[in-house]
Homo-oligomer: A and B are copies of this chain.
Amino acid sequence: MPTAEREISRFQVFLQQQGLKLTSERSALLREIFETHYHFEADELLFRMKEKNVKISRATIYRTLELLVKSGLVRRVHLGEDHYHYEHVRRDSHHDHLICTTCGAVIEFHDPVLEARQLEICAKKRFTATFHNLQILGVCDACRRKGEQPDAPDRVKMIQVGALNLRK
């Protein structure tokens, strides 16, 4: 469903509020982001734009991503361990991530009970939360079935290999 138009107009409103302009580069990027699913990285975006013969510089990508994060249309998430990852925000559907350290799979989930408890904790500490970020690292069902090595040294090696996989 290539309906990035709604998001583009939301972005335009945001830009106008800040006295900024909607350029062709910005809308091209937004279109690319909202036509793709799930998570992406800044350099991946640069590559995809090049592939489509849309000329756009790295600086502009980073600058636009910053604006998109501020506008709330895109969210920065920590997935693997490395650098930033981004995900577009369709509605206000917040979710967290289970990350398989063996195959790198990312499973999204949303749990109202968890969210509510977090707010309770913040209230107790007189902390005004604006955002949170939860990753649970471990082994997904598929990977667990494949390799069932129980002893300690092997497990360490497995984590090592998993980390490498994560870095793509």
Chain A residues packing against B (C-beta within 8 Å): 17-18, 70, 76, 78, 81, 84, 98, 100-101, 107, 109, 111, 113-114, 117-118, 121-122, 125-141, 144, 152-153, 156, 159-160
Contacts and interface: CB of A to CB of B under 8 A. Distances in A.
The majority secondary structure among interface residues of chain A is mixed
A133 B128 contact: no
Number of copies: 2
A125 B144 contact: no
A113 B122 contact: no
A136 B132 contact: yes
A16 to B, nearest CB: 11
A71 B162 CA distance: 16
Nearest to A111: B121
A128 B138 contact: yes
A26 B153 CA distance: 20
B117 A140 contact: no
Closest A-B pairs by Cβ, 7 of them: A126-B141, A129-B138, A132-B136, A134-B134, A128-B139, A130-B138, A131-B137
A78 B104 CA distance: 18
Contact of A129 (B76, B111, B137, B152): B137
A122 to B, nearest CB: 6
Contacts of A98: 122, 125, 127, 129
Nearest to A107: B125
Given A133-B78, A135-B133, A127 B140 contact: yes
